[in-house]
Chain A
Amino acid sequence: EPEVTQTPSHQVTQMGQEVILRCVPISNHLYFYWYRQILGQKVEFLVSFYNNEISEKSEIFDDQFSVERPDGSNFTLKIRSTKLEDSAMYFCASRIGQLNTEAFFGQGTRLTVV
């Protein structure tokens, strides 16, 4: 069964460093998303991406964040100058693009900023 794949599963980084979280969405999907879940809290929308551009972003998704689809398969989230409060589980999701379809999530990348 096709699935969304995220790497790495866990990343530890020093405060102020840049990190890139990688995702391979399901191959025929057209809509891509990043969500964040701070430990013990609810899942929050960060950004949606369609047709090679951001379609919507939340207030959380400020200039510190960027997304890119560098080739036909990868979808990345870059976090510049990481802060302690960026520590969270980051989920990538993809959706096929037709109406009435669910988003499928990757297994998540746990980011720990120290």
Chain B
Amino acid sequence: AQKVTQAQTEISVVEKEDVTLDCVYETRDTTYYLFWYKQPPSGELVFLIRRNSFDEQNEISGRYSWNFQKSTSSFNFTITASQVVDSAVYFCALSEVKDYKLSFGAGTTVTVRA
């Protein structure tokens, strides 16, 4: 069974600080996909990034970057120069090729203070 663990429950930072969110996953599949979603106070789920299991290249997209390490089953996410609008719950999720359903972690609440 697939499982996603987000050990950090809450993170509070001051604006312009960097925030790194940890995610560890478990799966028996060799092909899978990893995602980060953002849930702002308004409640919707917003897709942020996706990564394939066969592509460990780390990338930067604007203020977002991620560090995918298959050897440690980790998929960490960083927000650079945080802003108040980044305040939200961030969910890491895993999907396997068999059914593409998403298994979510428990989420990390990020609070960015002005």
Q: Which residues of A are at the interface with B, using a C-beta cutoff of 8 A? A: 31, 33, 35, 41-45, 48, 55-56, 89, 91, 93, 95, 99-108, 110
User: Are the C-beta atoms of A105 and B104 separated by less than 8 Å?
Assistant: no
Which residues of A are found within 8 Å of B105, using beta-carbon distances?
42
B103 touches A (CB below 8 Å): yes
What range describes how many residues of B lie at the interface? 20 to 34
Q: Which of A48, A89, A100 is in CB contact (< 8 Å) with B52?
A: A100
Please name the residue on chain A nearest to B6 by beta carbon.
A42
Alpha-carbon distance A55/B99, docked complex (angstroms): 8
Question: Knowing A42-B106, A43-B104, A102-B50 touch, does A48 contact B44 (C-beta < 8 A)?
Answer: no
Cβ of A106: which chain B residues have Cβ within 8 Å of it?
44
Partner of A110, one of B43, B45, B107: B43
Q: How far is the CB of A110 from chain B (nearest CB, A)?
A: 7
Q: A42-B91, A42-B106, A42-B107 are in contact. Are A104 and B101 (CB under 8 A)?
A: no
